[in-house]
Structure 1
Amino acid sequence: MNVHKDESLIQDEKPERPKLLAQDRQLYILNVLVQQGSISVSQIAAELDVSDMTIRRDLVELETEGKLVRIHGGAVLPENSTPVDMDREEPSFSTRLIRNSGAKARIAAVAADIACGYRTVALDVGTTTYLVAEKLVERNRMQIFTNSVRIAHRMGSGAPEIYLAGGYMRGDEMAMGGPIAVAQFEQLWFDVAFIGISGITASGFYDYSFEDVDLKRVYLSRSGYKVVLCDSSKFQRMSLVNIAPLQGVDMLITENSPPPAIALALEAARIKVVIAPLLPGPG
């Protein structure tokens, strides 16, 4: 005699979801909070299939760490976030190279140390990546891939092998771009990529030029380890083009702690933030 389960019971059965650890739950909470600006306990509890009490305990812990403010039935972002500013024009390369030069030198020193652990290194256009290139000129057994004519020229007489993307060169920035450059580098795979940006907010990374952004996205998609270089003057700043959301980048190197809104977004995106130390003084 065949025994059949009632079809209504089968429809009601749901596969059990694996329970998240507290750290993973809290990262989820922060990610939703950054995207929405506020959350409710019941919403998160339902999405994670846990009790309201579990989420309330998570919110208490996150509030103690200063990452959110609890309200009745949920939580909101802290109110001490700085406003987002919009950059409409790209300053010249020489102007940007001087601006915040001390911070950029600190960031470049950390980035160069990291680069030395890899063989195939992608260096994006930009002033901080140019400073990284200067520190790698004498490195043996390294292949440098770049779309910056400045970087290629600076490293041309040094020890690394230099590969420069072809295509159209963009004026003052001396950046190679366009379909030819993209097609060339899309065929490659880099051990690590160092990306320059003009701004960062909780919604992602920004830059001025469509042409440069095309290559930045190639570096992000074709690299095993992805590092963004960003001095603190670029926090809470936007420009013409959104390069990518925060998710998918492995590390951000800066010289000062990000403001709360960005710090929360970086943590939710599981990006390691490295604060570059002061450089030793002369003598």
Structure 2
Amino acid sequence: MATLLAEERRARLRDILARDGALRLDLVAEELGVSAMTVRRDLDDLEAEGFARRVRGGAVAPVLPRPFRDRMAIRYASKALIARKALDLVPLDGAVAFDASTTSGVLLEAVSARDLLVATNSIQNAATARRRGGVRSILIGGELDERTDSFVGTVACRSAAALAYTYFFTSAAAITPTGSWEVSLEEAHVKEVLASRAEQTIVLLDSSKLGRSALAHGLDWSRIDVLVTDLEPQDERLAPYRELTDVR
């Protein structure tokens, strides 16, 4: 019976990490009705299995490639808040680029334009853009990465470079004071090309990704013009980034 309870706890911890991207040890211990030491042991086991990474005061989910549908379910309320804050940055006309992130997808769901061309390496985001009034979409094709549902590779990079964009709206797997981070080199390369062809790059990032890193370095801060998060701009967690870019 004790073993079954332990398995149930760890399953619950995995669910919380998958949903929120992070957890606080004290809050989870109270919620589960167990001691902090018990949760620490559970988190140690989950870290050994690759389901968690221990940090001070809790744990975060490992930064791994995920399909579009799975990513859309994670911290959706935060993505919706970011979209509301970023909506007035989307122009009524011209050409803009959106990456294959679900945060960009949530923003696209709210866009209404006059004659706006949206280029994206996500078939889901291209379809969302096409349904919006006054918006046309171009799918940046290439090799489909089935782990993330995004198009990457040489063809995608060449296609991304074929246009000039007023803005590039992108998210990231993680961000640190050294720049953004992505789950693959291929994903990072496409975003580098899009940023190089855009007048401004706007990063849409939920706060669970702050101070974390992933496999591949993405954009330097010299490439990032605006950082939009689900936090208030004066939040202390954004202090390292206010010196680097416009934080909203």
Give the alignment's TM-score, normalised by structure 2.
0.69
- The 8 Å contact of residues 147 and 175 in structure 1, kept in 2 or not, is answered as yes
1:216 alignment counterpart: 191
- How far 1:105 sits from its partner (Å)? 0.1
Q: 1:115 to 1:164 in 2, by over 3 A?
A: same
Consecutive unaligned residues of structure 1, counting only runs of 5 or more, are 1-80, 275-283
CA contact (8 A) 2:93 2:115 kept: no
Q: CA deviation at 1:193?
A: 0.7
For 2:200 and 2:93, the matched residues in 1 are separated by: 10
* Shift of residue 92, structure 1, vs aligned partner: 3.6
Deviation (angstroms), 1:99 = 1.6
More relative contact order in 1 or in 2 (CA 8 Å, sep 6+)? 1
Q: Distance in 1 between matches of 2:59 and 2:162?
A: 36
> Aligned-pair distance for 1:263?
2.1
In structure 2, the CA distance between the partners of 1:236 and 1:178, relative to structure 1 (3 Å rule), is same
Report the residue type matching 1:196 in the other structure. Answer: S
By how many angstroms is 1:129 displaced?
A: 0.3
- Count of aligned positions: 191
Say which SS state the counterpart of residue 97 (structure 2) adopts: strand
Q: Secondary structure at the match of 2:192?
A: helix
1:95-146 per-position Cα deviation (integer Å, ceiling 9, x unaligned) = 321221111101112222210355211101111001111112x422111011
Counterpart amino acid of residue 194 in structure 2: Y
Alignment partner, residue 128 of structure 1: 103
Q: How far apart are the structure 1 equivalents of 2:141 and 2:155?
A: 6
Rounded Cα–Cα distance in structure 2 between residues aligned with 1:225 and 1:117: 16
Equivalent-residue separation in structure 2 for 1:252 and 1:88 (angstroms):
20
Partner-residue secondary structure (3-state), 1:116: coil
2:239 corresponds to 1:263: yes
Q: 2:161–2:197: 8 Å Cα contact kept in structure 1?
A: yes
Residue in 2 that maps onto 1:272:
246
Query: How many Å apart are 1:169 and its aligned residue?
Result: 1.2
Aligned counterpart, 1:207: 182
Q: Give distance in 2, aligned partners of 1:127 and 1:120.
A: 20
What SS is found at the alignment partner of 2:81? helix
2:164 is the counterpart of 1:181: no
2: CA distance, partners of 1:155 / 1:95: 20
- Aligned AA (1:99): I
**Residue 90 (structure 2) aligns with:** 115
Match of 2:125 in 1: 151
Describe the shift of the 1:142–1:82 C-alpha distance in structure 2 as closer, same or farther (beyond 3 A). farther
Equivalent residue letter for 1:106: L
Query: CA contact under 8 A between 1:84 and 1:237: conserved in structure 2?
Result: no
Provide, for residues 207-242 of structure 1, a one-character-per-residue CA deviation record: whole Å limited to 9, x for no partner: 102222111101211111110000111111111111
Structure 1 CA distance, aligned partners of 2:60 and 2:131?
A: 40
1:116 and 1:152, CA in 2 relative to 1: closer, same or farther beyond 3 A? same
What SS does the corresponding residue of 1:125 show, helix, strand or coil? coil
Aligned-partner residue type, residue 239 of structure 2: A
1:105 to 56, 80, 93: 80
Q: State the distance in 2 between where 1:91 and 1:178 align.
A: 18
SS in 2 for 1:226: strand
Structure 1 residues 83 and 187: alpha-carbon distance in aligned structure 2, compared to 1, 3 A threshold: farther
Question: What's the C-alpha RMSD, in Å, of the aligned pairs?
Answer: 2.5
Contact (CA 8 Å) 1:85, 1:237: kept in 2 or not?
no
> 2:40 — aligned with what?
none
Return closer, same or farther for 1:235/1:83 CA change in 2, 3 Å cut-off.
farther
Identity of aligned residues (%): 25
Does the Cα contact within 8 Å between 2:96 and 2:117 map onto a contact in 1? yes
* Letter in structure 2 aligned against 1:95: D
Aligned to 1:234: 209
Cross-structure match for 1:141: 115
